[in-house]
Amino acid sequence: MKLPIVVVHGGATVFEKKHHDAILKAVKEAAEKGMCAFEKGGSALDAVEAAIWVLEETNLFTAGLGASKNLDGAIELDALIMDGNRLESGAVMAVRDIVHPISLARYVLERTSNSQIVGSGANKLYEQMLAEGYREGTSSKRTEGPFIAQNCDTVGAIAIDETGRIASAASTSGWPGKLPGRVGDSPIVGAGVYANDIAGASCTGKGEQILRITMGRMAVFHVEQGLSVQQAAETVMSELRQKTSGEAGLILADKLGNLAIQFDTPHMPVAVLSSDMEYVYCSMTPVWSIDQD
Ligand code: ASP
């Protein structure tokens, strides 16, 4: 695929058929917003942040406005954004009831000397971010369910700019009814998300299982070792199944724009946009790839 590219997913899960159209529209819009960021001269980080922001702004996913509650009835969100070339990331974990944790994660990356901020510290930083005008607050209001996905549908994205610089990201409220303070894989570097100057990955599935095999990092590592993105994605998916009995999904792309989409749940909505193709996908078919060579 011709660079730049933006790939967006809306979680490895099961969605009722009646919601498929709305979900596909959302992932497509998210990819378009990401591409728009590139067209305006933005970076890969701008593109993934813009794409995730769109998905957080809908109530279709267990992220942002659609977040689900923990065991105490509170909303706690996790997000991570990573710049592959700088090998730097920003993450927030168990931040309370904000709509766009991805922008706060970006703020952590760009405006602090830390990479992971949790709980009340993250909420305090959110107020600081708004006061500084780094990002605007949203007027969107949360509405109560009904939840569209079975279990959880974390959102994720990868963007690669014209020069091959990669950014990847994820945003989620995690597993519905989770223990207060529980943090999954999504905001953990190398587990839910990873990017370097070779490839980038964004994973989705049960965090407790993804963490055990550091799935994002391993997927990228296999590409560094010479596997194609498709082989690397298949390898980590099979390792997850064998070692943890987990079901999951991931998007994996390298700096040339080769892309693999892999999942073993019934659904994982995906939108792919590049300067030479557009693809929107939500299907029972578990394997899909685009290889340059
Ligand atoms: N990985 C997320 C978590 O465990 C859930 C998901 O991907 O849907 O928090």
Domain ranges of the chain: 5-290
Rounded to the nearest angstrom, the distance between the alpha carbon of 154 and the centre of ligand 1 is 5
**Residues 113-141: what's their mean pLDDT?**
94
15 has which bridge partners? 149
| Ligand 1 centroid from CA 44, angstroms | 23
Give dist(CA 224, CA 142) in Å, integer.
42
Distance from Cα 280 to the centre of ligand 1, integer Å: 22
Burial of 194 (0-12, 13-18, 19+ CB in 10 A): buried
Mean pLDDT of the chain: 92
For the segment 175-223, what is each residue's pLDDT rounded down to a tens digit?
A: 999 999 999 999 999 999 999 999 999 999 999 999 999 999 999 999 9
204 CA: nearest ligand 1 atom? 7
Cα 58 to ligand 1 centre (Å): 18
Ligand 1: atom nearest CA of 205 is 7
Q: Which ligand 1 atom minimizes the distance to the CA of 173? A: 9
Ligand 1 atom having least distance to the Cα of 182: 9
Cα atoms found within 13 Å of the Cα of residue 128, Cβ hemisphere only: 12
Model pLDDT for residues 53-108, shown as the tens digit of each residue: 999 999 899 999 999 999 999 999 999 999 999 999 999 999 999 999 999 999 99
Burial 201-222 (b: 16+ CB within 10 A, else e): bbbbbbbebbbbbbbbbbbbbb
Whether the link from the prior residue into 266 is cis, omega within 30° of 0, is: no
Angle separating helix axes 101-111 and 44-57, nearest 10 degrees:
150
Identify the residues whose C-beta falls under 6 Å from ligand 1. Answer: 11, 152-154, 172, 174-175, 184-186, 192, 204-207, 210
Residue 192 sits at the vertex; the CA angle it makes with 42 and 103, to the nearest 5 degrees, is: 40
For a ligand 1 pocket test, name from 23, 78, 95, 154 the mutation site with the most ligand atoms within 8 angstroms of its C-beta. Answer: 154
pLDDT at position 293 is 38
CA–centroid distance for 283 within its chain:
19
Instruction: Compute CA distances 192 → 11, 56, 212, 249, 251, whole Å.
Output: 12, 17, 11, 10, 11
Distance, CA of 134 to CA of 229 (rounded, Å): 35
Name the class of domain 5-290. alpha beta
Determine which of 13-27, 180-194, 220-234 has the lowest per-residue pLDDT on average: 13-27
Instruction: Let me know how long the chain is.
Output: 293
Catalytic site residues?
Answer: 154
